Amino acid sequence: MAKRAFSSKAAEPESSRLPKLQVISRDKHPVSRNDISKNAIKVLYRLHNSGFEAYLVGGCIRDILLGLEPKDFDVTTNATPEQIKSLFRNCRLIGRRFRLAHVVFGKEVIEVATFRGHHGASPQEENKKNRTADQDEHGQLVRDNVYGSIEEDAERRDFTANALYYNIADFAIYDFANGVDDINAGILRMIGDPEVRYREDPVRMLRAVRFATKLNMQMDNSVSGPLKELAPLLINIPPARLFDEFLKMFMSGKAEANFLMMKDFGLFQQLFPMLKDYVADEQSPAYQMMLKAFKDTDRRIAEEQRVTPAYLIAVLLWWPLQARREQLENEGGLPPMDALNVAAADVIHRQSQRVSLPKRFSLPARDIWQLQRRLNITKGVRAQKVLEHKRFRAAYDFLLLRSYAENSDKKLAGLAEHWSKAQDNPAQLKSSKPEAGSGRRKPRRRRGPRRKPQENKGNDAT
């Protein structure tokens, strides 16, 4: 396939124009096909052999240059989604905001995107069939099926470190925004005006934090400057999409660093509005409990131990849960367990308005909360059943976390110590006395109505 003649025709302001393209030949960069997924190589070669341009793009190239192991391999091409689908039987098209092709190889999915173009460049371009874009009143792109050239695609990328393209035709890296220089300098820089780019997609603010912590890069002042002011724009993002970002921020080994940076920029408070007052006081038990949970999550991931979003959900909503439970008990007169269940439903519902909480995670979180009451029973049959509960380990870890955060509560510390010992010696849970209410009563024999004695109807003398 003949090389494309690169030009710089952009319908963006001069401030967002890209620097001169740098083509880094194979002998001058460390990216090898051995570093790339075999399935991604298959996709690249099939597109290339079918006459289309095919590039690995973005994070996978950036990570390889940094010596990291890429988790995903994304491909970009000048083929339309329909043309991509015609080449791969194992392909499905997804997305409304921007149409994408997913080529499925078992558990691995290679995402293939058509070169994105600029929207609103001219009335003629807006009328083209393949150019469809809409923005809302906040400047956010709600539909973005606008296709263009590779140069336009590079300008539409968010950060310079992500505007790197590995060409399967010549194995060279095409650097459109001095991304390699910024990676070497450890600077996270935005392509175009950061405020405009954040308004187009507020999730970019979360991505800025995540890349800064993951890649150990310093945000450029123009990148960090607008974050506090524009943080409220996150309320316009669908809750399901924010849950995906929640997983990326807190389940990838950088939870503590992301939490601290998000809090400083006011982003965490937008995702968890019920926690706004709790994170304001860094000495409070609530803040210490959250911080310790994030540290523990990072440690477990580093040690390749299992982690679950359900546990973090239980931690983050624990204090709003307690406040609501106490309100229901004091003002509504509900019994403790009823108040707990109603409060759990309330806080999960309220949080789901901002960040979606799937039931596969919210229900285990509720189990952890309910078990905190049951852990107060330390002897007898019911205590033994708690030890056998499938969520006991998570509830026990949660109890230890509470004991750490509320270190002045001696009763809580004693309870944590009791259950620590009980796991090594379950026999100590047995009670020498019958547990109140646990023994089976002998069933009472039901009697019918007492029959009146019959009158003697014999031959009485008259």
Structure tokens at 223: 């990148």
Written out in words, the top-level CATH class of the domain with range 14-185 is: alpha beta
| Cα torsion 190, 195, 201, 204: sign | positive
Catalytic residue among 72, 346, 397, 409: 72
Question: Using CA atoms, how far apart are residues 352 and 363, in angstroms rounded to an integer?
Answer: 13
CATH code for the domain defined by 284-429 = 1.10.3090.10
**Contact present, 259 and 250 (Cβ < 8 Å):** yes
**Contact present, 274 and 234 (Cβ < 8 Å):** no
Contacts of 76 (CB under 8 A, 6+ apart): 54, 55, 57, 112, 113, 114, 115, 150, 153, 165
φ and ψ at residue 199, rounded to 5 degrees: -70, -35
**Contact present, 58 and 157 (Cβ < 8 Å):** yes
**Contact present, 156 and 144 (Cβ < 8 Å):** no
Structure tokens at 132: 């469809």
| Cα torsion 280, 283, 285, 290: sign | positive
Question: Using CA atoms, how far apart are residues 75 and 92, in angstroms rounded to an integer?
Answer: 15
Task: From 172, 211, 213, 170, select the one nearest 189 (Cα to Cα).
Answer: 211
Our answer to whether residue 72 is catalytic in this structure is yes
Our answer to whether residue 244 is catalytic in this structure is no
Per-residue model confidence (pLDDT) at position 389: 93
Exposure pattern of 355-382 as b/e (b: 16+ CB <10 Å)?
bbbeeebbebbbbbbbbbeebebbbbee
Q: How many CB atoms lie within 10 A of CB 401?
A: 21
Domain parsing of the chain, residue ranges: 14-185, 187-283, 284-429
Q: How many CB atoms lie within 10 A of CB 391?
A: 19
Per-residue model confidence (pLDDT) at position 118: 73
Checking DSSP bridges between strand 218-219 and strand 187-188, what pairing results, if any?
Answer: parallel
Structure tokens at 335: 């019994």
Per-residue model confidence (pLDDT) at position 100: 92
Chain centre distance of CA 189: 24
**Per-residue pLDDT tens over the stretch 158-203:** 999 999 999 999 999 999 999 999 999 999 999 999 999 999 999 9
Task: From 250, 386, 390, select the one nearest 307 (Cα to Cα).
Answer: 250
Question: Using CA atoms, how far apart are residues 1 and 455, in angstroms rounded to an integer?
Answer: 117
**Contact present, 300 and 306 (Cβ < 8 Å):** yes
Burial of residue 58, with CB atoms counted within 10 A of its CB: 0-12 exposed, 13-18 middle, 19 or more buried: buried
Q: DSSP per residue over 44-57, as a string?
A: HHHHHHTT--EEEE
**Per-residue pLDDT tens over the stretch 315-360:** 999 999 999 999 999 987 899 999 999 999 999 999 999 999 999 9
Question: Using CA atoms, how far apart are residues 357 and 349, in angstroms rounded to an integer?
Answer: 9
Bridge partners for 131 per DSSP: 146
Residue written as tokens 């019918």? 448
Our answer to whether residue 74 is catalytic in this structure is yes
Structure tokens at 139: 């400047």
Distances (CA, A) of 373 to 204, 368, 424, 454: 41, 10, 22, 59
φ and ψ at residue 92, rounded to 5 degrees: -130, 145
Say what the pTM is: 0.81
Per-residue model confidence (pLDDT) at position 120: 54
Question: Using CA atoms, how far apart are residues 71 and 134, in angstroms rounded to an integer?
Answer: 31
CATH number assigned to the domain with residue range 187-283, chosen from the 4 options 1.20.120.140, 1.10.3090.10, 3.20.20.140, 1.10.3720.10 = 1.10.3090.10
**Contact present, 47 and 205 (Cβ < 8 Å):** no
Same CATH topology for 187-283 and 284-429?
Answer: yes
Q: Residue 142: helix, strand or coil by DSSP?
A: strand
Per-residue model confidence (pLDDT) at position 426: 85
Catalytic residue among 63, 144, 158, 175: 158
Contacts of 419 (CB under 8 A, 6+ apart): 375, 378, 396, 399
**Contact present, 214 and 63 (Cβ < 8 Å):** no
Task: From 176, 180, 162, select the one nearest 113 (Cα to Cα).
Answer: 162
In this prediction, the residues of the chain whose per-residue pLDDT falls under 70 are 1-17, 97, 119-145, 431-462
Q: Residue 251: helix, strand or coil by DSSP?
A: coil
For residue 227, what is the DSSP state? H
Structure tokens at 438: 């646990």
